[in-house]
Amino acid sequence: MTETSTEKIVKANGVELCVRTHGDPGDPPVLLIGNSMLSWPEALCERLAAVRRFAVRYDLRDTGRSTAADPESPGYTLRDLVADAAGLLDALGLPDAHVAGFGVGGWIAQLLALDHPSRVATLTLIATRPTAPGPSDPDLPEHAPALMAHFTTRPAVDWTDRASVVAFMLANARHLGGAAFDEAEARAAIERIHDRTMASGPGLDPGKAHRADQMAITFAALDCGDRWRERLGEITAPTLVVHGEDDPFFPLGNGRALAAEIPGAELLVLPGVGHELPRRAWDALVPALLRHTATAGAAP
C-alpha cells in the first residue's frame, strides 16, 4: 500500500474547498463530512487508511481554509453545501464514495444520498438528526436543557487571546461530551483547531472564524429549504447510524428515528459517548465502518 497524506485546495461547485486525503487513492474512498475537516481527528483518519480506506475530509465553506464569506450571513443554502460535496467528488475524480456525516455534516450526507444517490455507495450517519436547525419534530428529543442553559449563560471570551478561546471552547466540549469525557484529549483537539484557524487567515474576525469551525454558526442562519425527513424511505444506500448514548445536542432518540426510517439501516450505540468522536469510541467505530463499507464497493 502506498499511504499518503496530502492537503490541497480544489475548485468545486464554483468555490474553493480545502481537502485532506489519507491513505492509498486505490483503496475504497470514504468522504468524511463535518463542520470542518477537524471534525474528524487526524489519528482516526490514519487508522481508516491503515485498514485500506482512502479517507477524504474537507472544510465546509466559511470554515478552515475553504472559501470564506460571512458565516453569520451566508449567501448560499444547505443544498449548495450538498452540491459542494458532489463537486468535490468530481474534482477528485471519484464517481462515488462511501459517505459519512458527523453532526450537522449528517444533514449534508442525508441529502447527498437522497439527491445524488449514484454518488453514495454507503451512508454512515454519526450524531445527527433527520430535521434541520430550529425546533425539532414533536416525536424527537430536543437539545438537553442543561446544554442550552450553558450556551445561554456561558462567560464572555476574548477571541484574540488563545488561553481565553481554548477555555471557552473546552467548556463547550465538556457540556457536549459524554459521561467518560476526556478533557486532555478535548483540549489538544481544541488547541489544534485554534492554531489552524488563526494560521489560515480566513478573512473573518477571530470570533466568527472560531465559532464557525467549532459550532457551525452558519447553519443557524442557513436556508435549509424543504424538509427531507419524509423522504428518508427513498434512501437506497446501505446505511449505518452511529450515535452516542449520552449525546446532549442531538439526543439518542434522533439516531433511533434515522435507523427506523431509513430502509435496512443498522444502529450502533456508543456507550458513554456524547456529541463527539473520542478515541475511546474508535475500537467500536472503525471495525463497524470497515464492515459497512465492504458491503458495497466505491470506485477507486
pLDDT at 296: 60
Specify if 261 maps to a domain: yes
Structure confidence at residue 299 as a pLDDT band (50, 70, 90): low
Helix (H) / strand (E) element for 35: namely: none
Give CA–CA dist 102/108, Å, rounded. 9
pLDDT at 214: 59
Of the candidate ranges 191-195, 263-267, 270-274, the one whose mean pLDDT is the lowest: 191-195
Structure confidence at residue 151 as a pLDDT band (50, 70, 90): confident
Helix (H) / strand (E) element for 276: namely: none
Q: Which residues of 181-209 are buried (b: 16+ CB within 10 A; e: fewer)?
A: bbeebbbebbeebbebbbebebebebebb
In 3-state terms, what secondary structure has residue 132?
A: coil
Answer yes or no: is pLDDT of 161 > 80: yes
Give CA–CA dist 271/180, Å, rounded. 9
Pair 109, 125: CB distance under 8 Å: yes
Specify if 20 maps to a domain: yes
Task: State the average pLDDT for the chain.
Answer: 91
Give one DSSP letter per residue of 153-198, joined into a string: HPPP--TT-HHHHHHHHHHHHHHHS-TT--HHHHHHHHHHHHHHHH
Measured torsion, CA atoms of residues 169, 151, 252, 140, in degrees rounded to the nearest 10? -150
Specify if 169 maps to a domain: no
pLDDT at 63: 86
pLDDT, average across residues 159-168: 92
Specify if 163 maps to a domain: no
Burial zone of 93 (CB within 10 Å; 0-12 exposed, 13-18 middle, 19+ buried): exposed
Structure confidence at residue 298 as a pLDDT band (50, 70, 90): low
The residue with cell 462567560 is 155
pLDDT at 91: 97
Give CA–CA dist 140/252, Å, rounded. 9
Residue 270, domain extent: 4-141+216-292
Pair 58, 67: CB distance under 8 Å: no
CATH of residue 9's domain is: 3.40.50.1820
Q: Which residues contact 283 (CB under 8 A, 6 or more apart)?
A: none
Pair 202, 185: CB distance under 8 Å: no
Per-residue pLDDT reduced to its tens digit, 204-262: 567 676 666 655 567 778 899 999 999 999 999 999 999 999 999 999 999 999 999 99
Specify if 196 maps to a domain: no
pTM of the model: 0.94
Domains of the chain: total: 1
Evaluate the CA torsion angle 130, 266, 50, 245 in order and state its sign: positive
Specify if 242 maps to a domain: yes
Specify if 156 maps to a domain: no
Specify if 52 maps to a domain: yes
In 3-state terms, what secondary structure has residue 121?
A: strand
For residue 178 the three cell numbers come to: 459524554
| Higher-confidence position of 64 and 239 | 239
pLDDT at 134: 85
pLDDT, average across residues 98-103: 97
- Calculate the CA 276 to chain-centre distance: 10
Burial zone of 245 (CB within 10 Å; 0-12 exposed, 13-18 middle, 19+ buried): middle
Strands 4-12 and 15-23: antiparallel
